[in-house]
């Protein structure tokens, strides 16, 4: 089974400062069939989603000024910017209610056909923008009032779940072209989509030194546990 791997290095630039860089490759679990997808990319890497059947990656990069950028990368390495978030000085939620927000994320749907751009435009609000993954066109958005930190995950049936990241147990179903609906709190909030370090069969892949290891941890921790 083919997996995506992120290589990391620190490069010295002309100003004698250290520059974090990362590179995306794909390979089989035994290390064979290794293919380089991207050149070395600037910045630290964040989340990575490898949508095999849809044929692309969504890659989060962490910028030095506190901003983040999300790029869609094709299997041939071609990149297109999805969005870049505000830097630390221009975050939309910086007052005493800053906990009432969601971390900005771009998460592909389970089938890879849609992207959910999830962010807080203001303290106490969260917006979910639905984009077509093939052309990044926006086709719907929903905004919800919140009173605490939130987490987001896709449901296998093709809608986004927004759930409180505390003990209140509140959750909402956010589906394209329909109003947000309250729902039963999900059994899990992770993995957030089909791209994960845990397969549907319940095998987890991780590094032990420089070697990829697989471990059977059970399908109850795989995507679909929602």
Residue 30 domain flag: yes
Q: What is the pLDDT of residue 207?
A: 79
Structural domain boundaries enclosing 60: 1-88
Residue 122 domain flag: no
- Strands annotated E in 63-192: 68-74, 79-84, 105-108, 114-119, 125-132, 138-145, 150-154, 160-164, 171-174, 181-182
Residue 191: CB atoms within 10 A of its CB come to 19
Per the structure, the count of domains in the chain is: 1
Q: What is the pLDDT of residue 71?
A: 98
Residue 29 domain flag: yes
Residue 205 domain flag: no
- pLDDT below 70 — which residues of the chain? 12-18, 95-98, 167
Residue 125 domain flag: no
Residue 35 domain flag: yes
In the chain, what is the straight-line distance between the N-terminal and C-terminal CA atoms, in Å? 24
Q: What is the pLDDT of residue 217?
A: 87
Q: What is the pLDDT of residue 17?
A: 63
Q: What is the pLDDT of residue 205?
A: 87
Q: What phi and psi values does residue 144 have, to the nearest 5 degrees? A: -130, 140
Residue 132 domain flag: no
Q: What is the pLDDT of residue 30?
A: 85
Residue 134 domain flag: no
The answer to whether residues 69 and 83 touch, using CB atoms and an 8 Å cutoff, is: yes
pTM for the full model? Answer: 0.91
Q: What is the pLDDT of residue 163?
A: 95
Alpha carbon distances (Å) from 72 to 22, 77, 99, 162: 15, 10, 29, 23
């Amino acid at each position: 089974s083919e997996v995506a791997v992120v290589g990391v290095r620190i490069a010295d630039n002309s100003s004698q400062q250290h520059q974090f860089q990362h590179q995306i490759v794909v390979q089989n679990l035994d290390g064979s069939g290794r293919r380089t997808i991207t050149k070395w990319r600037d910045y630290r890497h964040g989340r990575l989603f490898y949508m095999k059947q849809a044929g692309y990656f969504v890659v989060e990069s962490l910028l030095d000024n506190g901003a983040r950028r999300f790029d869609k990368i094709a299997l041939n390495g071609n990149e297109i910017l999805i969005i870049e978030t505000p830097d630390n000085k221009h975050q939309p939620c910086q007052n005493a209610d800053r906990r009432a927000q969601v971390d900005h994320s771009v998460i592909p749907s389970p089938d890879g056909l849609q992207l959910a751009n999830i962010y807080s435009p203001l303290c106490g609000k969260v917006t979910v923008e639905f984009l077509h993954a093939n052309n990044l066109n926006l086709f719907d958005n929903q905004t919800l009032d919140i009173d605490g930190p939130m987490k987001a995950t896709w449901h296998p049936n093709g809608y986004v779940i927004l759930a409180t990241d505390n003990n209140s147990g509140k959750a909402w179903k956010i589906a394209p072209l329909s109003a947000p609906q309250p729902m039963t709190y999900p059994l899990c909030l992770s993995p957030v989509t089909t791209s994960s370090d845990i397969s549907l069969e319940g095998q987890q892949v991780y590094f032990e030194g420089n070697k990829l290891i697989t471990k059977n941890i059970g399908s109850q921790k795989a995507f679909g546990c929602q």
